[in-house]
Amino acid sequence: MKPAVSVSLVISTFNQPRVLAKVLDSLQLQTCPPEEILISDDGSDDVTRELVKKFAASSPVPVKHIWHPHDGFRKTIILNKTVLAASGDYLVFTDGDCVPHPKFVADHAALAEAGCWVQGRRCFVREKFVAEFEPGKTPAWRWMLTGKITGAAKGVRWPISIIRRDTNQRGIIGCNMAFWREDILAVNGFDEDYTGWGTGEDSDIGTRLYHLGRRRKFVYGRAITFHLNHPAVSREHHAASLARLAETIASRKIRCEHGLDQRRWTDAKTSHHQNNLITSNNLDTIGGTFALALIINTFNQPDYLNRVLNAVSQQSVLPDEVLLADDGSANETKIVFDRWRAAQKFRCEHAWQEHRGFRRARILNQAIALARGDYLLFLDGDTIPHPHFIADHRALARTALFVQGHRALIGRKAATEFGSHEFERDRLHALCRFQLRGLRHAYRWPWPLRRSQQDLRGVRGCNLAIWRSDLVRVNGYNEAFVGWGSEDLELSLRLMNSGVRRLDVRGWALCYHLWHPPVSRDEVAVNNELLARAVHEKSVRCEQGLDRHLAAV
């Protein structure tokens, strides 16, 4: 039986193949297996590699082995790499020396709750009895009574669980934690400034989640693990970790400075060359170390949408998922999208809302909430992407930046068929008929012209790419914007106010806007007032935004 939420199980390890083998054996006994298993490996040798490879070959679920060279205790770095490689909505963390109870995953899935993270407990198998411990065979109760297992109260799955909701520091342990992926992204993951073993790194992310407004569900009697005791590791960094944790508590910061965001770009450049990401054969891996979600906005333009979707299928690099943000189109749009997505191998979702005027901001927030990707690329349903559109945006992605691409304009006569034939033919045909405007944005250059800027000139939502964690931080689109105009400008303004710079790109990431009759601009004055207010108040988060949709997913 699969859990109601999409669970990624993350197992941290370093050169403990004998105990890791017991942990992997226990995963075959789970009553409710996860969607995927990720081995987060801080540089183990080939013995661990071969063990994971053998396990992956027989595993009923995909297995990813995320590895980097060993250079001291760098657990936070490899965990961040693993978070980026995970595809689940809910991430359960344990260690490679902790054997999970057969209902471990099922319990965590049942405990998942919006606005909370979960802390489970562990009992301890005494070191001299670890070799005898066999998952599924060892009589745990007898071992507890004879003293082979200590901390028995934490190792019993009771008929009724005890759950305490709190924001306390006591009892935070990284070997049995579970977080919503969105929440991990919002706090920028694990703080990589923690080096060496210590209390700090797990307590730090828990503390920043408290600051974000998430409470802890502290659980007894469910989600149990059996810790296989081993010789103590070096604790020379323990004092420094505690001091860093004290600073996090005092500052009430939410995001760490060195976390997930820097992994996105550095690993995308090195993962294929340095073999940092190893996966099993039963898994289709995403490109680089981040997943790209393409969000297409539409309303009652099924013919244009059909051409846009066909252009997506012909991209030189495909997206990891496509989400259609539909502001209340009639059934013909659904038919077009359903027919197209039946032929695709990647995830496709249709977000739809009842049409009650132009509510683009709201439906985009719904699509953002549904997306699983780390990097969100926005395209309009009347804009044909260049064949290298997605490949270019992937290559342009940078930490702490959002990318603004540009568009050429296809005139009224050429718009009736542009995108229906081979791309080069359609573009040449439009050019020869004087139906192609904005020639500097019509042809791809050998190298892009990139410019970092902090103004709103040229901002358009039809060709915009933003890290999902940055959207979560500013609360997405402002749904106070109803009617055409300025919602993309206001979002870009808040992103820049939050410290995310705009990267304006010419010559790459091209698209072609198809002519259509102008939409009503009755609300432009009101929307411009909202934009002016955001400029004056230096707004970062909007009130009516993404959070309500994240809670509903």
38 and 65 fall within a common domain: yes
Q: What is the pLDDT of residue 267?
A: 43
Residues 539 and 493 in one domain: yes
Same structural domain, 360 and 265: no
* Structure confidence at residue 216 (pLDDT): 94
The answer to whether position 285 is within a domain reads: no
Same structural domain, 313 and 238: no
Provide CB contacts within 8 A for 111, sequence distance 6+: 118, 163, 178, 217, 219, 222, 223
Per-residue model confidence (pLDDT) at position 236? 73
Return the CATH number at 358: 3.90.550.10
Residue 46 domain-assigned?
A: yes
CB 36 within 8 Å of CB 64 = yes
Q: Return averaged pLDDT per consecutive 10 residues of the chain, 553 residues in all.
A: 80 93 93 93 92 92 90 89 89 94 93 92 89 83 84 81 89 91 88 80 91 91 89 76 88 87 48 36 39 95 97 92 96 96 94 93 95 94 95 89 96 96 95 95 91 88 94 94 90 94 95 92 88 93 92 75
SS3 338: helix
Q: How many CB atoms lie within 10 A of CB 16?
A: 18
Distances, alpha carbon 159 to alpha carbons 220, 222, 297, in Å: 11, 9, 49
pLDDT reported for residue 363: 96
Last-in-domain residue among 222, 246, 279: 279
- Is 2 among the domain residues? no
Beta partners for residue 36, in sequence order: 8
State whether 299 and 269 are in the same domain.
no
Q: What is the pLDDT of residue 306?
A: 97
Please give the tally of structural domains in the chain: 2
pLDDT at 1: 56
Identify whether residues 259 and 327 lie together within a single domain: no
Backbone angles phi, psi at 358, to 5 degrees: -75, 105
Domain end among 233, 251, 279: 279
The answer to whether the beta carbons of residues 32 and 105 sit under 8 Å apart is: yes
Are 201 and 347 found together in one domain?
Answer: no
Spell out the residues 6+ positions from residue 91 whose beta carbon is closer than 8 angstroms to its own.
Answer: 7, 8, 10, 83, 178, 179, 180, 181, 184
- Is there a domain that residue 365 lies in? yes
Instruction: Please give the Cα distance from 368 to 390 (Å, whole number).
Output: 18
Residue with tokens 């929440």: 183
287 within a domain of the structure (yes/no): no
Q: Of 279, 308, 323, at which residue does a domain stop?
A: 279
Pair 248, 350 in one domain: no
265 shares its domain with 327? no
Full residue range of the structural domain in which residue 204 is found: 7-279
The predicted pLDDT at position 284 comes to 29
Q: Tell me, yes or no, whether 80 lies in a domain.
A: yes
Same domain, 212 and 174: yes
Does any domain span residue 286? no
**109 and 140 share one domain:** yes
Q: Are 316 and 391 in contact (CB under 8 A)?
A: yes
Please report, for residues 114, 186, 261, 462, 543, the alpha-carbon distance to residue 493 in angstroms, rounded to integers and kept in the order given. 29, 19, 20, 16, 15
Whether 369 maps to a domain, the answer reads yes
Residues 248 and 117 in one domain: yes
Q: Among residues 474, 446, 471, 493, which one has the least CA distance to residue 542? A: 474
Q: How much is the pTM? A: 0.53
pLDDT value, residue 399? 83
Contact 236, 133 (CB under 8 A): no
Contact 208, 259 (CB under 8 A): no
